[in-house]
Structure 1
Amino acid sequence: MENLFGEIIDQETESTGFFADVIIPVPIPKLFTYKIPRNLKDEIGIGFRVIVQFGQKKILTGIIGKVHQKPPVAYDAKPILDLLDNHATVNPLQIRFWAWMAEYYCCNIGEVMNAALPSGLKLSSESKIQLNPTYDSDTSPYPLDDREDILLQALANKSEMTYDDCVSVLGIKSIHGIIKSLVIKEAILVFEQVKEKYSPKVETRIRLSKEYASDKKALEGVFQELSNKAKQEEILLKYLQEVPVYKNPDLNTKGIEKSVFTDANLSASSLKTLIKNGILEEYKLIISRFEKEEPSEEEIILSELQLDAVAQIKTQLEDKNTLLLHGITGSGKTEIYITLIKEALAGGSQVLLLLPEIALTTHMVGRLRQVFGSDMGVFHSKYSDNERVEVWNGVLSGKLSFVVGVRSSLFLPFDSLGLVIVDEEHESSFKQYEPAPRFQARDSAIMLAWLHQAKTILGSATPSFESFYNARTGKYGYVSLGKRYGEAQLPEYHLADILVDKKKNLLKLDFTRLLRESIQEALKNQEQVLIFQNRRGYAPYISCEDCGWIPECEHCDVSLTYHQFNEEMRCHYCGFKEKVPSTCPACGSNKLSAVGLGTERIEESISLLFPEARVARMDLDTTRSKYGYQRLLEEFGSGNVDILVGTQMITKGLDFGKVTVVGVMDADRILFFPDFRAGERAFQQITQVAGRAGRRDKKGKVIIQTRKPDQQIFHQIIQGDYKNFYIQEMGDRQRFFYPPFVKIIKVTTRHKDYKVAERAARSLHNLMGDIPVKKIMLGPEKGLIGKIKNQFIFESIIKIDKAGNAQAQFKQDLQSLINEMVAHKDFRSVRFVVDVDPY
């Protein structure tokens, strides 16, 4: 068995060791040593969940990272309170993966554990109070005030009370002083009640008692006894109708759901009597929350081009661990994935298919379910805690060998991965920004595969420059698919000049004439349309036409986004919202107007321009519910929606045969963004959304609305000239020191006081300059958004030479510097955030 760092632990030491280093979900840079009680020493092991006390009151779930016989030097080890399972919940490979992630992304392993374990596998603790059994009000030397007396009277009628219960009884907000006083007076005891969050789904079932199921004459005797009890007889007949035990007695073992009787409006009391008399039995059965689905699709037949790609992939993966599959939109990458997944599963390996976000998961899962049925697990954040725990346990037990999921699925307890596929590997949503670990799922997936000695396939129509660079330099294998599957043709591109239409008075509600005519033609032919705008809300902001006032968030340095549906303005950073004023607070004018375009406003404009069209919107606001994506995509896929307006969600992997027109509302917003990746992302997003058009036998049309149609990038997108675009951009990257030629680390300093934040940022920046590695340092500068949630933000950007040990040394020294800064009395409350590969 291995410890946290992959070292082998002697089995005898493990079984007789008295101490365990425990990973606990707190942002502290070390493991804590706890004493193993003698009654647990033979049952405990690496990866087991345990309950431990952290600090004075807090009860936490920990994971055993190492077992040994060395007591801690700096403190007395507290005992492990309890063992939660009789088997390991986390395996040694996962712990190694957590340790790597903590080291590489400059965070703590407890933060990684907190992100990795589903909430349902972590215990919650809740402070409660109870009467002290030894307390006697008559003999107590301590007098009680009125509120203390009321609380003790309430406790006399209850065995325990939560803090919230106390607040309700006393009718005041803060009760900690009263509770502290009663503890000192020895009137009450405070304790932590720990609850397991995960609860399996239990079904109540009914079956015939064994003596009647196996003896026909005995059952006939029961019917004679019930001849004058019609309601009981009716229930028994209903059961035999559902479960024909005469034909097959074995069917009785499973019985039927109790709800069958209640749904048929049969007598509940009569059912209870039959159970009481031993004729029927009631029992509980733990069942899966996921419906059993059988594969329905016939064998996939690959084209010659796809067969050749599969052969190339297999050949190249003999020598390479990672391969880039560069297939244009609609080239049939999914069928290639399915073929490779089937082969890996047939060989006894586990497979992980990683997707950038839930919108794509919804569509892809339906396709894969036809092939793999319920043998495939799905893992994403819209699932409930209990559902996520069931997928976790399914992988742990070996029931699920294939999982499709978003970035959090990297943390599942795989023990024999053979293949990891990262689809749409270029997507920015693979990056986790908040909270720690701030990891890049694509890069982490490659590391996870390496730990398992598995192979990784990165798939994209518009690869990230890092992946394409690694493929061109020979680090990765490379296979290209340059034709669409079957008879499908690439779409026809058109650039629509917004300024020209505006001058000619042809621009209506932000739609150029070309886009309006294309939409009208599609509607006439009963075809579908996708409209892409990289902004949700009705409009970016409200402005006063007289004085120029723009409403801003009270807590962040950003303007509030206008949402017409609820007639409110919202901050998309902290959630602050307020109603739209009727007059300008600055000058009193009533000339308030919406400026800019959001998906909500585009939806309204389309309804005005095409009143006969059925319009839907897909953005964060319309897909908050668990099945929000699914419902919208089903509506669109079934033809009940003519025009779908959306943000980036609609650019990824959707495959609808009736979509013939795609409109990009404002391409300039994507291109002219203060980010060195702006060109790369513009190429990716426009190409991806354009790829949704004409995926069957009819050629699609893509209308790109822009104010600068002469930009070279638009013509490279139209020609599909990814290679020359890459070469051009990479020249700039190399000249100005940007990835993939350097490693970037961003250090953010946050504090509620502007001067403290600035001083701390400058102090740390100066100290980082002394770290002896080759680097370029920029800043510290006020953040692009200078204040979020009342915290002022300063940023330093460090570009580090990729050669040798420079990155590892810089990260190690940086952590020491931050620890020194936090220990300084002036900067104790400053928050320092390190983000590796931030862009």
Structure 2
Amino acid sequence: ALPAPSAEQAQVLQALAASAGDAPVTLLHGSTGSGKTEIYLREAQRVVEAGRQALVLVPEINLTPQLEERFLARFPGRRVVSLHSGLTPARRLKHWLMVLLGEADLVLGTRLAVFAPLPRLGLVIVDEEHDPSYKQQEGARYSARDLAVVRGRIEGVPVLLGSATPSLESWHNALPATEGGAGRYTRLTMAARIGGGVLPTVRLVDMSRLPKEVLRDSALSPALLGALRERLARGEQSLVLLNRRGYAPVLHCTECGWKSACAHCSAWRVFHKLDRTLRCHHCGLTERVPRACPDCGNADIQPTGRGTERLEEQLALALPGARVGRIDADTTRRSGALEAELARVHAGEVDVLVGTQMIAKGHDFRRMTLVAAVNPDAALFSSDFRAPERQFSLLMQAAGRAGRDAGQADRAEMWVQTWHPQHALYAALRMHDYTAFAQAQLAERRSASLPPYTHLALLRADAREQSVAQAWLRAVSDEARELAAQHQVALYPPVPLSVQRVADMERAQLLVESASRPALQRFLTAWEATLRRKRPEQKGLLRWAVDVDPLAI
């Protein structure tokens, strides 16, 4: 028997059924634990029973098996297939042919699945629609979320976007014109958790008040360690979030100041203690840790900063007897490793789980009552205008891992260690108030003429020398001045990327801005001929690409 829907779920299902024939785009704003997946299952069931196919997109491969289990359990006898890069070529081809021939009733996949050729498509669902993983960053650049909306409009089928922290673009599209929005989407809200549970209490730890010797010895405050010990004593689980893998971001020499820079990138090589290597997370260069400083011979080279590997080590020392686990890109590289680690967590074989953002969303950890965020302040003052939005989303999603069992919800807490406890982002987080955060961010975006109130594109160029890349960008920009003025498009001077060099290729970019999306598209279409014809003045390799709606500038 199907679980009885909550009052909010029943209202949402009724609204979706009433509007299904109009092929609308609906933004489902549901708090973590409010039962969005049940809405997806019931809507998919309605479509499949009508003889149509449903396409369900998820942002990460590691969420696909979990969701696949839920759909297989709900649809016995139906053909449920997955499409993502983790499949073998043979299996991916088999699934693709099943979709093409109409043999599959439900298709679950990552961003690539938006292109799946479904002949009987009746519904598109985009889970965690805010997630940046939906944007393809290399090769053919596209947003699977935006393509899903376009595909729904072309094929005349409804599109359901779900998130606890919608992207500001989607939120703006779902706001009525009377509230300053675009009014393109319908917004439905589920604010309450299933079973009457409450969202975790958010506690801020002011790191500026702690003695320096405490900060030198551990990444965790005494109060947070005390809270972790309480959970251990009660047999409950905790999650510690640090969005930086490895043992330490950099090694440095205390004598001459040498640091573990990458020879091929404008970045530091990260120290991984487990296999004693220095790895560049941009180009992949991996070398053994030197026995002494390569410049002066000093044997005392020290790790600086903390990653998940070092945090795991410190927690094991601070909490004797605790079973500490770690899930990040390093521990889950082998096939099946992620599923095995998650199974250990669900089975209660892990007391404290350390991890990056890959464990902060989508997982249903029933025994978890404490989530702690370590060092989340970096995004508060980033030059990337989207950084606060991504950070708030990450923290809200992470908080949602705690207290998902209604019997433990009253003890659920999220601890945030911060040097800026008065920041407006944390004020909204304490109240779990996405609406207030979105309103403040949209007001800032409007005053600064940033998306969604303006439309951006980046022309990126990679060359062996920075001067070659920038010279080419200036040349194509100068030639397009008249064209830009004609389309009322602004061209900004070329600048290096924040990580200027990757794999011995110097990277530069030029920002294109317009108040009108059609004008921007017309300009880019007309400009393409110049871009293809123009070549750098100096000999050498040069690659270029246009990125519309870039995630970062």
How does the TM-score come out when normalised to structure 1?
Answer: 0.63
> For 2:345 and 2:481, how far apart are their aligned partners in 1?
55
Cα offset for 1:316?
4.0
2:449 to 737, 751, 755: 737
Q: Which runs of structure 2 are paired with 1:196-595 in the superposition (5 Å)? A: 298-319=1-22, 321-373=24-76, 375-434=79-138, 436-472=139-175, 473-503=182-212, 505=214, 508-595=217-304
Cα offset for 1:302?
0.9
> For 2:373 and 2:134, how far apart are their aligned partners in 1?
23
> For 2:253 and 2:340, how far apart are their aligned partners in 1?
38
Q: Runs of 5+ in structure 1 lacking a partner?
A: 1-297
Which residue pairs with 1:790 in the alignment? 504
**Which amino acid is 1:740 matched to?**
P
**Which amino acid is 1:358 matched to?**
I
Which residue pairs with 2:385 in the alignment? 676
**Which amino acid is 2:499 matched to?**
I
Q: SS at the partner of 1:360?
A: helix
Q: Against the structure 1 CA distance between its residues 632 and 446, is the aligned structure 2 distance closer, same or farther, given a 3 Å change threshold? A: same
After superposing the two structures, state which structure 1 stretch, 398-407 or 747-756, moved more. Answer: 747-756
Q: Which runs of structure 2 are paired with 1:72-151 in the superposition (5 Å)? A: none
> For 1:684 and 1:757, how far apart are their aligned partners in 2?
35
**Which amino acid is 2:3 matched to?**
I
After superposing the two structures, state which structure 1 stretch, 311-320 or 681-690, moved more. Answer: 311-320
User: 1:237-284: CA deviations, max 9, x gaps?
Assistant: xxxxxxxxxxxxxxxxxxxxxxxxxxxxxxxxxxxxxxxxxxxxxxxx
> For 1:366 and 1:512, how far apart are their aligned partners in 2?
39
> For 1:324 and 1:508, how far apart are their aligned partners in 2?
46
Q: SS at the partner of 2:316?
A: helix
Q: SS at the partner of 1:797?
A: strand
User: 1:388-418: CA deviations, max 9, x gaps?
Assistant: 1111111122221201111111122211211
Which residue pairs with 1:60 in the alignment? none
Q: Against the structure 1 CA distance between its residues 827 and 423, is the aligned structure 2 distance closer, same or farther, given a 3 Å change threshold? A: farther
Q: Is contact 2:23–2:152 with CA below 8 Å preserved after alignment?
A: no
Q: Is contact 2:464–2:541 with CA below 8 Å preserved after alignment?
A: no
> For 2:508 and 2:101, how far apart are their aligned partners in 1?
47
> For 1:504 and 1:828, how far apart are their aligned partners in 2?
53
**Which amino acid is 1:353 matched to?**
V
> For 1:633 and 1:404, how far apart are their aligned partners in 2?
20
Q: Is contact 1:821–1:828 with CA below 8 Å preserved after alignment?
A: no
Cα offset for 1:766?
2.0
User: 1:582-641: CA deviations, max 9, x gaps?
Assistant: 222223322311111211111111111123111221111111223222111111111111
> For 1:786 and 1:332, how far apart are their aligned partners in 2?
43
Cα offset for 1:448?
1.9
1:694 to 392, 400, 403: 403
Q: Which runs of structure 2 are paired with 1:167-178 in the superposition (5 Å)? A: none
Q: Is contact 2:22–2:158 with CA below 8 Å preserved after alignment?
A: no
> For 2:531 and 2:16, how far apart are their aligned partners in 1?
45
**Which amino acid is 1:433 matched to?**
Q
User: 1:467-522: CA deviations, max 9, x gaps?
Assistant: 00000032001100111111321101100122222347477421011211111111
Q: In percent, how many aligned pairs have the same letter?
A: 34
After superposing the two structures, state which structure 1 stretch, 369-378 or 647-656, moved more. Answer: 369-378
Which residue pairs with 1:53 in the alignment? none
Cα offset for 1:776?
2.8
**Which amino acid is 2:110 matched to?**
V
> For 1:502 and 1:364, how far apart are their aligned partners in 2?
45
Q: Which runs of structure 2 are paired with 1:721-732 in the superposition (5 Å)? A: 721-732=433-444
Q: Against the structure 1 CA distance between its residues 815 and 467, is the aligned structure 2 distance closer, same or farther, given a 3 Å change threshold? A: same
1:814 to 498, 506, 527: 527
> For 2:296 and 2:481, how far apart are their aligned partners in 1?
49
Q: SS at the partner of 1:457?
A: strand
Matched, 1:656 2:369: no
Which residue pairs with 2:179 in the alignment? none
Cα offset for 1:426?
0.4
> For 1:802 and 1:372, how far apart are their aligned partners in 2?
45
> For 2:382 and 2:243, how far apart are their aligned partners in 1?
12
Q: Is contact 1:550–1:559 with CA below 8 Å preserved after alignment?
A: yes
Q: SS at the partner of 2:245?
A: coil
Q: SS at the partner of 2:94?
A: helix
Which residue pairs with 2:542 in the alignment? 830
Q: SS at the partner of 1:486?
A: helix
Q: Is contact 2:172–2:452 with CA below 8 Å preserved after alignment?
A: yes
Q: SS at the partner of 2:162?
A: strand
Cα offset for 1:320?
5.6
Q: SS at the partner of 2:189?
A: strand
User: 1:759-778: CA deviations, max 9, x gaps?
Assistant: 11221232233322222333
Q: Against the structure 1 CA distance between its residues 645 and 769, is the aligned structure 2 distance closer, same or farther, given a 3 Å change threshold? A: farther
> For 1:667 and 1:320, how far apart are their aligned partners in 2?
40
User: 1:47-81: CA deviations, max 9, x gaps?
Assistant: xxxxxxxxxxxxxxxxxxxxxxxxxxxxxxxxxxx
Cα offset for 1:301?
1.9
Q: SS at the partner of 2:329?
A: coil
**Which amino acid is 1:563 matched to?**
H
> For 2:215 and 2:516, how far apart are their aligned partners in 1?
52
Q: Is contact 1:544–1:589 with CA below 8 Å preserved after alignment?
A: yes
> For 1:468 and 1:755, how far apart are their aligned partners in 2?
40
Which residue pairs with 1:704 in the alignment? 416
Matched, 1:632 2:336: no
**Which protein shows a greater Rg?**
1
> For 2:527 and 2:243, how far apart are their aligned partners in 1?
36
Cα offset for 1:429?
1.0
1:759 to 466, 471, 475: 471
Cα offset for 1:362?
2.7
Matched, 1:646 2:355: yes
Cα offset for 1:826?
4.0
> For 1:778 and 1:515, how far apart are their aligned partners in 2?
46
Q: Is contact 2:200–2:399 with CA below 8 Å preserved after alignment?
A: yes
Cα offset for 1:828?
7.0
User: Using CA pairs below 8 Å that are at least 6 residues apart, which structure has the higher relative contact order?
Assistant: 2
Q: Is contact 1:534–1:670 with CA below 8 Å preserved after alignment?
A: no
Cα offset for 1:545?
2.0
Q: Which runs of structure 2 are paired with 1:11-90 in the superposition (5 Å)? A: none
> For 1:651 and 1:777, how far apart are their aligned partners in 2?
38
Cα offset for 1:753?
2.7
Which residue pairs with 1:12 in the alignment? none
> For 1:796 and 1:669, how far apart are their aligned partners in 2?
25
Q: SS at the partner of 2:444?
A: helix
Cα offset for 1:544?
1.6
Q: Is contact 1:417–1:449 with CA below 8 Å preserved after alignment?
A: no
> For 2:211 and 2:534, how far apart are their aligned partners in 1?
56
> For 1:511 and 1:432, how far apart are their aligned partners in 2?
36
Q: Is contact 1:310–1:336 with CA below 8 Å preserved after alignment?
A: yes
Which residue pairs with 1:802 in the alignment? 516
> For 2:70 and 2:380, how far apart are their aligned partners in 1?
33
